A and B are shown apart, each in its own frame.
Chain A
Amino acid sequence: MVDIGQISILIALVVSIYCSVVSFLGAKFKSSELMLSARFGLYSVPMILLISIISIIYAFVTHDFSVLYVYENSNLSMPSAYTWVALYAGNAGSLLFITFLLSILSVCGILSIRNKLQYALPYTVGILSILLTFFIFVILVFANPFDRLDLVPVDGLGINPLLVHFGMFIHPPVQMTGLISVSIPFAIILGVVLSGKGSDDLWVDIGRVWGMISWTMLTIGLMLGSWWAYTILGWGGYWAWDPVENSGLMPWLAMTAFIHSIMVQKYRGMFRMWNVILVVIGFTLAQLGMFINRGGPVPSVHSFAASTLGWLFLFFMIATLISSVIIIVLFRKFLKSDRRLDSIISKESVFLAQNILFLLIAFFTLWGTIYPVFSESVSGETVTVGKPYFDLVNGPLFLGIIFLMSIGPIIPWRKASFNQLFDVLKMPGLGFVTCLFILFFSGIRNPLALIGFSICSLVIINLLQEWIRGIRLRHRGGEAYFIAFFKLLWANRPRYGGYIVHIGIVMFSVGVIGSSFYSSQKDFSMSPGDSNIFGGYNFKYINFTNENYSDRNESIAYFQVDSNGKPIGVLTPFRAFYPQFRIAATRGAINSTPKEDFYIVPSQFEDDGSGVFRVLINPMIWWMWVSAPVIIFGTLFSLFPGRKKSKKKSI
């Protein structure tokens, strides 16, 4: 079975090379047969790679330790459910998985443009085939998950204990899909540019849909990663500005800018070249993530430490970036727009300002991420940049974005006047000032937190005002309020879907602001029977147990917790030690409410059960996790296809 997997990869490589070459040849000689041959060839790649995927999963499930990758990433004692997903626990397997995802997305991408953007097909097929060729080549030559061992061990080394978590089933595949899916809008848009039809905007809708798919996957991936870090790593936080976290955030920032900017192209026919540049930046930053994750020079808790493939990805990233720049320069005349901004006070200007802020955050994050390498090469000393830098630089920029989010929806396209804007902003502005005062007199004195919360209120009041005015308008037309509400939403899904996403982002921001400025923590040395009070919580250490498993020893503490006299229940934080890996994993126990999280985690345990416990009160984190379904719903709602208007009607 393993040999079949190996052969399949080899066949996939040959097919990808063929598709890369023949697709461009077909375009050059205008040969329909060659173009179709390359396209059909690309359709077959996912099927071939699926055989490889099945082979390696089969090797895991049957504990075939003759395969080096299986030996390194599984053992007999690991929970059987994880043998199915251990495929992407290591470097080689995750590369194979990413390549498989890319092949599926490539086929979906090609099918989505087959009719509407036929002229771009051969170039898009060619670009996607080149990407696939690179990935498959790296797998085959540098990170082959089917490499064999001469002597077959009785047991494997096992999976990294930190990966044995429910998040393993969702976070890695979603995050990988998010990162690799940026390749699809990249290939489609560059395909359009290469075909010389960049000047028509027929690709905008498809580009927008693919941009939003990538953005959604990246959003879910980042959220799940934060949730995983919060619940499993036992440090009470969810974001550490780790290089790999940043490498997931940077393409997200670029794609967020893109999905807004492309609306300007859709409605106004502007920002054509800017959108192409944004998608190239997004793709390049996703490649940079691969470089960092696969053994680049920046140290990270996420990266595959033993991998040295990073440099290959860096080389590929530079090559694709240079090629993209050359293509943009050569075809720039097709990308110029003859339309100009009509007024500074317009939706277009807000989108542009917001784009600049997103790119500034991406730039500062990139700078902070690569600074250790830069400092080492300049002064010979590695200087790492931590949370204070990122918070200081990016915090105000994010606030700026949220502010733009509050005025963006109410400013019309093309032109608006100050007086009208002032008139529309009167009520939300009043809400903003009221919120500021209420928060100030309720004890919030940090200026950034005060402004942050108040701007969030401004966004919500603005959106509510928009909604209410829209509903009233429909109500005047004879619809009941309830019906008017739904019909208003349904009539303009991109607009109101976007508003729902904005509400989700505000919920997320409230969680970030609350937990960043008002978290508190304290260490308590406690023995069974002890009680303590912190932040209005009374917690009693009732008991502890030691449980020995084949791969780990678990010490579990039982705490009875009350909040201001109201019983919450028994929380069970624990610490597990994995002798084989010499890793101790602590897991916090959390009581989560919209107001705050009570988080307790053991720092160390003695044999008699006494130990040091860290207690954290994290305000409003609950809102972050709840925002995820709201954001996803809003995105799906805005993407939901409507009935196609007849040609007569559309004119």
Chain B
Amino acid sequence: MIIILSIIIALIPATAILYPIIYSLKEKDNLTHDQDVYNIKQDDLRRISEGIETADFDYSIGNLSHKDYIWIKEKYNSEAYKIMDLSDDKSK
């Protein structure tokens, strides 16, 4: 009885382990290099966009002076241009 139960238990991982090998399953490669680069750029742009939103909010509630607000916005904008330029260069 124990032997039968042990075999049944061992069958769980055996099936899981062997299934991809027997059926030559491939990892669904949803990240090509280009997509990967695209995602990173997206992430950088997302960061900039959130940064500007936060700066807008901080300025509106008075945590940020006008001078600092303009400075921060310019910084974010120049970073965004840099990323866009890089993307354009790559696509060319």
Contact = CB atoms under 8 A, between A and B. Distances in A.
Contact of A413 (B17, B21, B55, B65): B55
Contacts of B44: 269
Contact of A37 (B10, B18, B71): B18
B50 interface: yes
Interface stretch (A45-53, A358-366, A515-523, A581-589): A45-53
A381 interface: no
Contacts of B57: 470, 492
Given A118-B27, A420-B64, A423-B62, A11 B72 contact: no
A646 B58 CA distance: 25
B78 interface: no
A424 B62 contact: yes
Contacts of A7: 2, 5-6, 9
B20 A36 contact: yes
A48 B12 contact: yes
Contact of B2 (A4, A37, A492): A4
B69 to A, nearest CB: 9
Given A413-B55, A647-B42, A424 B63 contact: yes
Interface string B42-55: 11111101110011
A267 B40 CA distance: 14
B54 A412 contact: yes
Given A4-B6, A48-B12, A650-B49, A473 B61 contact: yes
A202 interface: yes
A416 B64 contact: yes
Contact of B27 (A32, A45, A412, A419): A32
A383 to B, nearest CB: 49
Nearest to A420: B65
A38 B27 CA distance: 12
B: interface residue count bin: 35 or more
Given A118-B31, A412-B55, A470-B61, A4 B13 contact: no
A350 B24 CA distance: 52
Contacts of A200: 36, 39-40, 43
B67 interface: yes
B64 A469 contact: no
B68 interface: yes
A420 B67 CA distance: 10
Contacts of A202: 39-40, 43
A104 interface: no
| Chain A contact surface mostly | helix
Contact of B25 (A8, A32, A267, A651): A32
Question: How many residues of A sit at the interface, in one of the four size bands?
Answer: 35 or more
A119 B50 CA distance: 26
A413 B51 contact: yes
Contacts of A342: 75
A198 B10 CA distance: 37
A416 B68 contact: yes
B91 interface: no
B25 A36 contact: yes
Given A15-B17, A47-B12, A415-B71, A36 B27 contact: yes
Interface string B1-29: 01001100110110011111100111101
Contacts of B50: 267
A40 B19 contact: yes
B85 to A, nearest CB: 15
Interface string A9-52: 00100110010000000000000111111101101110110010
A332 interface: no
Nearest to A117: B31
Interface in A364-411: 410-411
A41 B58 contact: no
A266 B25 contact: no
A37 B54 CA distance: 44
Nearest to A34: B21
Interface string A470-495: 10010000000000000000001000
B68 A412 contact: yes
Contacts of A41: 13, 16-17
A580 interface: no
B92 to A, nearest CB: 19
A466 B20 contact: no
Contacts of A266: 47
Given A44-B16, A51-B9, A412 B47 contact: no
Contacts of B27: 32, 35-36, 118, 121
Contact of B13 (A15, A33, A417, A466): A15
A45 to B, nearest CB: 7
A268 interface: yes
B12 A40 contact: no
Given A33-B25, A268-B47, A8 B17 contact: no
Contacts of A420: 63-65, 68
A423 B63 CA distance: 9
A201 interface: yes
Contacts of B64: 412, 416, 420
Contacts of B63: 410-412, 416, 420, 424, 466
Interface string A198-233: 001110000000000000000000000000000000
A337 B55 CA distance: 22
Contacts of A4: 2, 5-6, 9
Contact of B75 (A8, A414, A466, A492): A414
A302 B32 CA distance: 51
A40 B19 CA distance: 9
Contact of A651 (B18, B30, B40, B42): B42
A11 B13 contact: yes
Nearest to B24: A33
Nearest to B3: A7
B60 interface: yes
Nearest to A199: B40
B35 to A, nearest CB: 11
Given A423-B62, A647-B42, A118 B30 contact: yes
A563 B9 CA distance: 63
Contacts of A8: 9
Given A18-B17, A202-B43, A651-B45, 8 more contacts: A32-B29, A33-B24, A36-B20, A119-B31, A466-B61, A469-B61, A470-B57, A650-B45
Complex A-B, nearest 9 residue pairs according to Cβ-Cβ distance, in ascending order: A36-B20, A469-B61, A40-B16, A44-B13, A420-B65, A32-B27, A44-B16, A412-B58, A15-B13
6 contacts: A118-B27, A201-B40, A268-B51, A416-B65, A650-B45, A650-B46
